């Protein structure tokens, strides 16, 4: 039962890392990346629909995204949704597809994006610490109920701290990789 607390903590921390990777994928780093469009919703016949479900998104060149809608009548709606987003990229509609030229990042914008990566990273670390707290509370409850001994409780708390340290280290690595990508732009 006590090991379940550690396994549950590991799973939740791994989910936090995946969410961080997904969030950082939507941060523009000066390179074309389909993840940039992952949060864009298009008003499609009155229903907010994710752009990624309405079109094929490819990267024909390092700084160009090509959005090819499955339904050509939705081109205007997709163009509008991209313009209204916070991407800061102007879509070029050629009648069959939309080209997005990802501009070079300025030095100021790189600094802003690095701060944004830091915020995402810190939020992920807070989530990991909350998972650790919940796991420790669970183990203390088990010890109080007599399910485990005090020695086992202390050993499990050390194990949970190691899992937390590992997750925090991976979060730092993920953030460092994204910051490097932003600097190289």
Please give the pLDDT value at position 22. Answer: 83
Please give the pLDDT value at position 168. Answer: 95
Residue 121 has pLDDT above 90, yes or no: yes
Please give the pLDDT value at position 107. Answer: 80
Q: What is the mean pLDDT of residues 94-123?
A: 84
The percent of residues above 90 in pLDDT, for the chain, comes to 28
The percent of residues above 70 in pLDDT, for the chain, comes to 95
pLDDT bracket for residue 14 (50, 70, 90)? very high
Average pLDDT value over all residues in the chain: 85
Please give the pLDDT value at position 4. Answer: 84
What domains, with CATH codes, occur in the chain?
Answer: 2-25+106-184 (1.10.132.20), 34-101 (3.30.1360.40)
Please give the pLDDT value at position 32. Answer: 66
How far apart are alpha carbons 160 and 9 in whole angstroms?
A: 8
pLDDT bracket for residue 73 (50, 70, 90)? confident
Ordered DSSP codes for the chain: -HHHHHHHHHHHHHHHHHHHHHHHHTS--SS--GGGGTT-EEEETTEEEEHHHHEEEEEEETTEEEEEESSGGGHHHHHHHHHHSSS---EEE-SS-EEEE-PPPPHHHHHHHHHHHHHHHHHHHHHHHHHHHHHHHHHHHHHHTTSS-HHHHHHHHHHHHHHHHHHHHHHHHHHHHHHHHHHH-
Residue 118 has pLDDT above 80, yes or no: yes
Compute and round to an integer the Cα radius of gyration of the chain.
22
Q: What is the dihedral of CA 129, 130, 132, 138, to 10 degrees?
A: 160
Please give the pLDDT value at position 17. Answer: 92
């Amino acid at each position: 039962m006590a090991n379940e607390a550690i396994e549950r903590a590991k799973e939740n921390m791994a989910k936090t890392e995946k969410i961080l990777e997904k969030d950082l994928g939507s941060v523009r780093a000066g390179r074309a990346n389909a993840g940039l469009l992952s949060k864009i919703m298009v008003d499609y016949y009155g229903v907010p629909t994710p752009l990624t479900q309405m079109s094929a998104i490819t990267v024909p060149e390092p700084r160009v995204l090509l959005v090819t809608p499955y339904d050509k009548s939705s081109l205007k709606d997709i163009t509008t949704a991209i313009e209204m987003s916070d991407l800061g990229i102007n879509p070029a509609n050629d009648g069959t597809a939309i080209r997005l030229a990802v501009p070079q990042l300025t030095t100021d914008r790189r600094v802003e994006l690095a701060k944004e990566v830091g915020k995402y990273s810190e939020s992920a670390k807070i989530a990991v610490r909350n998972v650790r707290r919940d796991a420790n509370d669970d183990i203390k409850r088990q010890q109080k109920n007599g399910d485990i001994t005090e020695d086992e409780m202390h050993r499990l708390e050390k194990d949970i701290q190691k899992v937390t340290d590992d997750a925090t280290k991976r979060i730092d690595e993920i953030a460092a990789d994204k910051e490097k990508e932003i600097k190289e732009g």
